[in-house]
C-alpha cells in the first residue's frame, strides 16, 4: 500500500503539498486541451460545480448500500479512488483521466479526506500534550487528588479545540477566524461524545485521556465512514461537504509543536482551574466603600493570594482573596499564598487572571457560577475571561459576625 502511494506521488506529483500551490500543476498539463483555473472557491463557482455535481450524481451514479463516494469517482472515470481514515485518495492530474469540472470534485474530496486525517493526527497530538502537562500541574496543586470529581468532558474540551484549530485554509494559527470556521465544521460533522458519568482520574491521567481519545477518534472515524457510504447527494453525502468549493484550496500543515504551542497555555489554565474547583478553592471578594486597601484585610501577612484595587468608579475598594475552607474554628478560610506564588512565578498566570477574572466572569454572567462560556471548547488566549473560573463569594455584611466561610455557605455556595 505504502509503495503504491509513493509511486503515485512520484509519477503524478499531485500529492498533498503541491495542491497548495496550483501553479506547480501548470508544468504537467497541456493548457490548451485541459484548461484549469486556480484551486479556489471562485473557480468552483465559475464552473458551476455544485449544479454539475447534483445533476451528474442523479443520472450517472447508481446508489449503492456503501461506498457511494467511490461510485461517484468511478462514474468520473477514476475507479481506484479509495478514501478513508489512514487512506490517501488521489485525484490525479486534470483530464488524466478525469475531465474538468469533475476533476475539481475529486480534488475537493481528496482534500476533505486529508483534512479528516489531519484531525485524527491533531487528536493524537493533543492527547500527548495533555498527558505531558498534567502530572506536573497535579503535583504542584493537587498532591492527594480525588478522582471522582472532575467530569471527564471538562478536559475533553481541549481535544475538541485541537480539532477546531486544524487549519481549514492556510497554516495553523494564521487567522483566528480559522477556529470559528473549523469549529462549526467539526461540531457539524464529528460531534465529540458526551462522556456522561465519567470522571478525570487526576492520579492516572493517561487512562482518562485514552478514553477521550478513543471516543473522539471513533466519532471522527464514523463521520468519515458515514460520508463515504451515504448516497452522494443525500444530506450526509459528500456533495454537501464539498459544496461551495471551500475544500479546493484547503491545506493543513502543522506539527506536534504547532498544536502544543497553540494549546498548552490555555490547557494549563483550564487544568489548574479544574483542580481548584475540585478542592473547592474560591475567591472571596469584598467591597468596601469607606475602607482602603490597608484596612480591608485583617493583615494576616497575605501576599500574592490577595489583591486590593480601587473600585473603578472611585467609590471605594474591591479586594480579592484566593482561599479555601480549612475547617478552622474561627470560620476564617486558609491563605493560599503558596498556590498563588506558583501561579504567578512558575506558571506566569497574573493576579488579574486568577483573582479578578473569576469575579468579572460571574458578573458578566448575571451571577451564574462556573459558566461554560466557550461551548465545549477553550479559547487559545489563556487570559480570556472565564477560562480561569472558580467559585466566587461576594462576601457581604454578615461576614463580620459569622466569618467568611459561614457567610458564603449561607449564600448557598459549596465551599
Ligand atoms: C452522464 O455521463 C455522461 C458521460 O458518461 C455525460 O455525457 C452526461 O452529461 C452525464 N449526465 C449528466 C446529467 O451529467
Ligand atoms: C507546508 O509544509 C511544507 C513542507 O514542510 C512547506 O514547504 C510549506 O511551506 C508549508 N506550507 C505552509 C502554508 O506552511
Ligand atoms: C441534491 O440534493 C439537494 C440538497 O439535498 C437537493 O436540493 C437537490 O434537489 C438534489 N438534486 C438531485 C438532482 O437529486
Ligand atoms: C505561553 O506561555 C509562555 C510562557 O509563559 C509564553 O512565553 C508564551 O508566549 C505563551 N504563549 C501564548 C500563545 O500565550
Ligand atoms: C463600585 O462601588 C459602587 C458602590 O458605591 C458599586 O455600585 C459598584 O458596583 C462598584 N463597582 C465595581 C466595579 O465593583
Ligand atoms: C454551541 O455548539 C452547538 C453545536 O454543538 C451549536 O448548535 C450552538 O449554536 C453553539 N452555541 C454557541 C453559542 O456557539
Strand 317-324 relative to strand 282-288, pairing: antiparallel
Q: Look at ligand 1, atom 11, and give the residue with the nearest C-alpha.
A: 56
Cα dist. 89→185, 186, 190, 240, 323 in Å? 21, 21, 20, 19, 56
Ligand 2 within 6 A of CB of 253: yes
Which helix (H) or strand (E) element contains residue 320? Answer: strand 317-324
Looking at the DSSP bridge assignments, the partners of residue 288 are 317
Whether 335 and 305 have beta carbons less than 8 Å apart is answered as yes
Helix (H, G, I), strand (E, B) or coil at 160: helix
Q: What residues in the chain have per-residue pLDDT under 50?
A: 1-31, 171, 173-180, 295-300
**Considering the entire predicted model, what is its pTM?**
0.84
pLDDT on residue 25:
42
Of 243, 278, 257, 43, nearest to 138 by C-alpha is 278
Surface-to-core class of residue 151, CB atoms within 10 Å of its CB (0-12 exposed, 13-18 middle, 19+ buried): middle
Q: What is the pLDDT of residue 18?
A: 33
Q: Are strands 391-395 and 282-288 parallel, antiparallel or unpaired?
A: parallel
Give the pLDDT score at 291.
63
Maximum Cα interatomic distance, the chain, rounded to a whole number of Å: 90
- At 193-239, the pLDDT tens digits run 888 889 999 999 999 999 999 999 999 999 999 999 999 999 999 99
User: Residue 22 C-alpha to ligand 3 middle, in angstroms?
Assistant: 30
Q: What is the predicted pLDDT for the residue at 89?
A: 95
DSSP E strands, 229-299: 282-288
- Decide whether any atom of ligand 2 lies within 6 Å of the 171 Cβ: yes
Given a contact cutoff of 8 angstroms between Cβ atoms, the answer to whether 170 and 178 are in contact is: yes
What is the per-residue pLDDT across 371-394, written as a single tens digit (0 to 9) for each? Answer: 988 988 899 999 999 999 999 999
**Cell numbers representing residue 115 in the block:** 483534512
Residue where the block lists cell 470559528: 180
Query: What are the pocket residues of ligand 5 if the criterion is a CB atom closer than 6 Å to any ligand atom?
Result: 287, 289, 311-313, 315-316, 318
Of residues 337, 358, 340, 361, the one with CA closest to residue 350: 340
Cα(188) to centroid(ligand 6), Å:
9
**Which atom of ligand 1 lies nearest, measured to the CA of 55?**
13
Ligand 6 probe mutation, 187, 219, 365, most atoms within 8 A of CB: 187
Q: Is the peptide bond before 101 cis (omega within 30 degrees of 0)?
A: yes
Closest CA to 250 of 241, 259, 258: 241
Amino acid at each position: 500500500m505504502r509503495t503504491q502511494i509513493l509511486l503515485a506521488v512520484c509519477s503524478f506529483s499531485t500529492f498533498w503539498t503541491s495542491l497548495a500551490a496550483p501553479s506547480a500543476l501548470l508544468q504537467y498539463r497541456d493548457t490548451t486541451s485541459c484548461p484549469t483555473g486556480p484551486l479556489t472557491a471562485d473557480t468552483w463557482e465559475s464552473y458551476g460545480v455544485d449544479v454539475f455535481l447534483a445533476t451528474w450524481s442523479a443520472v450517472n451514479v447508481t446508489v449503492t448500500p456503501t461506498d457511494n463516494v467511490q461510485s461517484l469517482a468511478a462514474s468520473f472515470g477514476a475507479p481506484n479512488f479509495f478514501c478513508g481514515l489512514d487512506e490517501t485518495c488521489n485525484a490525479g492530474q486534470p483530464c488524466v483521466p478525469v475531465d474538468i469540472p469533475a476533476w475539481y470534485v475529486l480534488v475537493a474530496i481528496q482534500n476533505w479526506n486529508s483534512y479528516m486525517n489531519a484531525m485524527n493526527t491533531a487528536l493524537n497530538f493533543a492527547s500527548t500534550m495533555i498527558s505531558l502537562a498534567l502530572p506536573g500541574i497535579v503535583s504542584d496543586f493537587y498532591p492527594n487528588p480525588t478522582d471522582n470529581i472532575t467530569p471527564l468532558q471538562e478536559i475533553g474540551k481541549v481535544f475538541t479545540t485541537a480539532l477546531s484549530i486544524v487549519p481549514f485554509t492556510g497554516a495553523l494559527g494564521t487567522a483566528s477566524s480559522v477556529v470559528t470556521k473549523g469549529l462549526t465544521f467539526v461540531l457539524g460533522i464529528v460531534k465529540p461524545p458526551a462522556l456522561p458519568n465519567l470522571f478525570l482520574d487526576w492520579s492516572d491521567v493517561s487512562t482518562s485521556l485514552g478514553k477521550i481519545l478513543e471516543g473522539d477518534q471513533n466519532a471522527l472515524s464514523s463521520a468519515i465512514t458515514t460520508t463515504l457510504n451515504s448516497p452522494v447527494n443525500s444530506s450526509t453525502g459528500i456533495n454537501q461537504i464539498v459544496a461551495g468549493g471551500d475544500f479546493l484550496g484547503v491545506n493543513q500543515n502543522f506539527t506536534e509543536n504547532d498544536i502544543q504551542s497553540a494549546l498548552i497555555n490555555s490547557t494549563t489554565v483550564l487544568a489548574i482551574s479544574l483542580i481548584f474547583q475540585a478542592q473547592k478553592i474560591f475567591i472571596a471578594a469584598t467591597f468596601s466603600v469607606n475602607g482602603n486597601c490597608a484596612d480591608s484585610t485583617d493583615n494576616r501577612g497575605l501576599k500574592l493570594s490577595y489583591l486590593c484595587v480601587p473600585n473603578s468608579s472611585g467609590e471605594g475598594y474591591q479586594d480579592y482573596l484566593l482561599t479555601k475552607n480549612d475547617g478552622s474554628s474561627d470560620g476564617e478560610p486558609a491563605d493560599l499564598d503558596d498556590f498563588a506564588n506558583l501561579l504567578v512565578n512558575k506558571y506566569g498566570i497574573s493576579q488579574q487572571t486568577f483573582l479578578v477574572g473569576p469575579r468579572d466572569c460571574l458578573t458578566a454572567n448575571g451571577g451564574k457560577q462556573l459558566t461554560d462560556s466557550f461551548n465545549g471548547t477553550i479559547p487559545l488566549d489563556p487570559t480570556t475571561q472565564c477560562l480561569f473560573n472558580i467559585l466566587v463569594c461576594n462576601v457581604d455584611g454578615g461576614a463580620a459576625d459569622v466569618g467568611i466561610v459561614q457567610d458564603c455557605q449561607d449564600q448557598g455556595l459549596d465551599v
